[in-house]
Amino acid sequence: MNATTKKSLNIAPANIADYRRLAEKRLPRQLFDYIDGGSYQELSLQNNTNAFDQVLLRQRILRDVANIDTSTELFGNKLAMPVILAPVGLAGSYACRGEIQALTAAQQHNIPFCLSTVSICSLEELHHKTNAEFWFQLYVIRDRSYAIKLLKRAKEAGCTTLILTVDLPVLGERYRDIRNGLSSDPNLWGSIKRGLDIAIHPRWLWNVAIKGKPLVFGNLTDAVPDARSLNDFKAWVDNQFDASMTWQDIHWIRDHWQGNLILKGIMDIDDAQQAVKIGADAIVVSNHGGRQLDGVPATITVLPEIAKVVDQHCKLLVDGGIRSGLDVFKALALGADACLLGRAWAYALAADGETGVSNMLNIINNELNVAMALTGINKIGNINSNVLYKR
């Protein structure tokens, strides 16, 4: 770490990149790489962020932008801004009971939070500790009876919106996780290195590993009753990804879920059309943050053509590479109704818990305000392709 980087870690975070640097400093390498990494050569991961640089805006002047309104409506609920905290696995290992801290921040900012199936905190813990409404994310898993049980628990916890992740028939090959032992059994030297890595992060060791116990997948404790570590849970989860999943499984989910249904992992116009046909309430244009198939286009690149296919038949959401309020603005201009943030809130949570997530959302909102003002837009509903610079 050079002197410039060391100095930057001591200043107040001004953007998501600052929170990323703080997260890298405060987390053991294994956990930071899990948040930060992608699959294979991480080309899709890079594409997601780089593509936003190619979207240019029209700067407009002398328009009344004294009263900017960033609010929007989704599924009958008014949101303070078109942003959702996406499902992120293992969040409770980044900060003490991290999912609760993130949900609390989201509630304060009046935006949705979605709990991952592989969260540390369970559905019931979030419901009892916060009494706040939240979304739930589910994989299509082999054990259909357990999937039904999870859907029932989500309903009992007050969830009215389900995100079904459909781009995980198999797990993408993630080189960072292999190298640091997260997705493989480390040898003796690997175990020693991991132990030393944890030892040089005493703040994480005390606040998370000790005070944040139990570090287990809270939603899956009865599925793996003999589990002694996260690796035991991971073995069960990895075996549950269902490569035989088809569109018929979506009908099966519909039979057991009466709330809003969102399909996450759409990158093709034919798949978008099929999602509309089966009656999805929303789709998420997503390549899993570059963590599944490498070498695919950025989500922001395929968003406009999918927007034409969807054509208001369902809500259109997008994730991948969104690191600022300016990126949110660009995504809306290209057809999205709202954006999901994943790494952005994970970095902030690891850096400073609930306070970090809350401040990160303030940054996103402020940047969105500025983007709207300098393009002459005062309402979210007025953002469209006309704000883009046509080369």
Residues known to be catalytic: 288
Nearest of 119, 141, 147, 137 to residue 317 by alpha carbon:
137
Instruction: Find where tokens 């001004």 sit.
Output: 14
Angle between helices 16-26 and 29-36 (to 10 degrees): 150
Strand, coil or helix: 135 = strand
Amino acid of residue 381 = G
Rounded Cα gap, residues 32 and 208, in angstroms? 14
Instruction: Find where tokens 């244009």 sit.
Output: 285
Q: Give the distance, in angstroms, between the CA of residue 287 and the centroid of all CA atoms in the same chain.
A: 11
CB-based contacts of 268, cutoff 8 Å, min separation 6: 302
Amino acid of residue 353 = G
Q: Do 117 and 219 form a contact (C-beta atoms < 8 A)?
A: yes
Nearest of 171, 172, 167 to residue 271 by alpha carbon:
167
Q: Beta strand 77-79 with 72-74: parallel, antiparallel or unpaired?
A: antiparallel
- SS3 annotation, 185-232: CCCHHHHHHHHHHHHCCHHHHHHHHHCCCCCCCHHHCCCCCCCCCHHH
